[in-house]
Structure 1
Amino acid sequence: MTGEMSIERAKTHLEAWYDAELKVSTGQSYTIAGRTLTRVNLPEIRKQIEYWENRIARMKSRGRSRVRRIIPRDI
């Protein structure tokens, strides 16, 4: 595969963003031993989910398009 992403890999990315959305719903940031972790904001996560859903949909429909040739005729 030369530079083309597989649908399985795209689904893996989408799953990661779904997981991030769940984690953010339990807390945007937390502190352990004086160190703070802040997660990406929810609008950015939803934007990424939409991106990956659309990309997967395009990948699935890519093989379904048909090209038709029309030859005009003067009758």
Structure 2
Amino acid sequence: MDTVTIKKRLEFHTQRLDNLYLAYNKLLSGGVKSYRLDDRELTRLDLGKLSDEIKDAEEKVDELTALLNGQSARKAFAVIPHDW
């Protein structure tokens, strides 16, 4: 992946993350009963799902930042325990 593509993706996901933070804070503060984010309407009941989306977006921003700085992206791996 080239640097220009990484920068575009990083900018997109950073903006997405900012919007998610704003929605979460508005709902958490109790100042609004619902919040419209793009084409969906969120309520306080959606805070758990919104929190998961924030976590995913933060991981994506971290991954793209690492790629931009010349580091390798984090890769997930599984450990399978054996009972011997």
Superposition TM-score, scaled by structure 2 size = 0.55
Please tell me whether Structure 1 or Structure 2 has the larger radius of gyration of its CA atoms.
Answer: 1
Instruction: Tell me the number of residue pairs that the alignment of Structure 1 and Structure 2 aligns.
Output: 58
Which 4+ stretches in 1 moved above 6 angstroms? none
Identity of aligned residues (%): 21
Q: Distance in 2 between matches of 1:12 and 1:19?
A: 11
Structure 1 segments unaligned to the other structure (5+ residues): 31-36, 66-75
CA RMSD in angstroms comes to 2.7
Structure 2 segments unaligned to the other structure (5+ residues): 35-40, 73-84
Give secondary structure in 2 for the equivalent of 1:64: coil
Superposition TM-score, scaled by structure 1 size = 0.61
Structure-1 residue corresponding to 2:56: 51
> Higher helix share goes to which structure?
2
- CA gap of 1:38–1:58, structure 2 versus 1, over 3 A, is closer
